[in-house]
Amino acid sequence: MKRILFVAALFAAVSCGSGSKDAPDPDKPTPPEEVGTPTFAKGADISWASEMEAGGRKFRKKDGTEADLLAVLKESGINAIRLRVWVNPYRGWSGKADVVAMAKRVSAADLALMVDFHYSDFFADPSRQSIPAAWTADKADLDKMCDHVAAHTTEVLQALKDAGVTVNWVQVGNETRNGMLWPAGQLWTNSGDIADGRKHFARLYNAGYDAAKAVYPHAIVMPHLNNAFEDNLWWFQQIKAQGGKFDMVALSHYPQTESSYTAAQMNQMAVNNVIQLAKTLGVPVMISEVGVKTFASEATAKQVLNSFVTSLRNLNGCAGVFYWEPEVDGVWKPALYSDASAIAQYTGKSETWNPYYMGAFTSSGAPTSVMEVFEY
């Protein structure tokens, strides 16, 4: 039986080299060796890692040996990395320069790379899809907003390409259930659907899609929604009906965060939805974020994650899974989380935030047993 993942296999076979037998031009950089796209991604989003390292955090293998984080993750079975991109972020973390620096390390480690565009200066998710401060003057002009999306996507990806980095997947927007770049690409309000909201969103999304393809023609480009346990088929069908283009679709899954369901129920609903989406849309499905409550009960968290990943591996339509920020320990937090005035600039609320509680490393920088799920 042919797997739906034939797209990934095809892309893995394409070389970045020109194939020319002429002598190399010393004034031009040598084309990079392309990092192949794995048939099943066992990934990690480590977007906080550079800030952690700048603050002195060291990482260790399971035997306690100090090592580069990427080497630790590879030993744990990870074969792909996801990095988010913000436009003008706090202290530059997850900005273009930060992403390029980390991506060069990812490429040197022979790991596949997903670039996750938020099109914001801070987290974009179902609760907020804030326009970058530098773009706000154009918030009422859809054409200009599309230009911003295209220009930002091109700028970041071209910088990565110039640095010799292979980009295997591009995520256009982050958890865009209610659109992106509000109000330009918003889909609904409390009063109901916005007229032409899906049409406008599709234009913004396609601006990112087309820009990504122009720089990396073989990259797999996708939209991203939260709540893999919910029926999301209608959303993708409506965007596709408005001309939205995608090679894959991406979902987030946090199976221990809904009190109405058990983790086992959440996992099964998510698996069922992956099957439905792949079959109906005819494209693979990526779980680009997953997290479990490691520090509440490590044994339970490992069981929940293992059950989910094992189920996904047996599906023709699943392209893989990325654990979100496994390198944190439940104690460390980014500097922004302690800066109430900065948070207020992004969210409108003057408050501080607690550390992320679903990381999968210890305070000594070593992976917990949860990461063993990826060692198969």
Q: List pLDDT tens digits, range 14-39.
A: 333 333 334 444 444 444 457 899 99
Residues 6+ apart with CB under 8 A from 180: 119, 124, 129, 173, 201, 204, 205
Within-domain flag for 3: no
| Residue 31 falls inside a structural domain | no
Q: What is the number of structural domains in the chain?
A: 1
The CATH number of whichever domain residue 47 belongs to comes to: 3.20.20.80
> Residue 12 above 90 pLDDT?
no
Biggest CA-to-CA distance, the chain: 65
How confident is the model over 188-204, as a mean pLDDT?
Answer: 97
Backbone torsion region of residue 365, taken as left when φ is above 0, otherwise alpha when ψ lies between -120 and 50, otherwise beta: left
Beta bridge partners, 222, equal: 171
Give residue 376's pLDDT: 84
CB-based contact 358:293 (threshold 8 Å): yes
Q: Quick one: CA torsion of 307, 274, 248, 290, rounded to 10 degrees?
A: -40
- Structural domain for 356, as ranges: 41-375
Q: What per-residue confidence (pLDDT) applies to 33? A: 56
Cα distance from N-terminal residue to C-terminal residue, the chain: 23
Q: Tokens at residue 153, please?
A: 């996507």
| Residue 9 resides in a domain | no
Cα-flanking dihedrals φ and ψ of residue 325, to 5°? 50, 55
Mean pLDDT of 207-233: 98
For β-strands 112-117 and 192-193, DSSP reports them as unpaired
Domain membership of residue 210 (yes or no) is yes
Give the tokens for residue 12.
Answer: 């893995």
In a domain, 181, yes or no: yes
Strands 169-172 and 192-193: unpaired
* Domain assignment present for 13: no
- Across 81-104, average pLDDT: 98
User: Which pLDDT value is given to residue 35?
Assistant: 82
Q: Considering the domain boundaries, does residue 14 fall inside one?
A: no
Q: Is residue 23 part of a domain?
A: no
Percent of the chain with pLDDT over 90: 89
**Pick from 317, 299, 316, 296: nearest CA to 307:** 299
Is 193 strand, coil or helix? strand
DSSP lists the bridge partners of residue 83 as 115
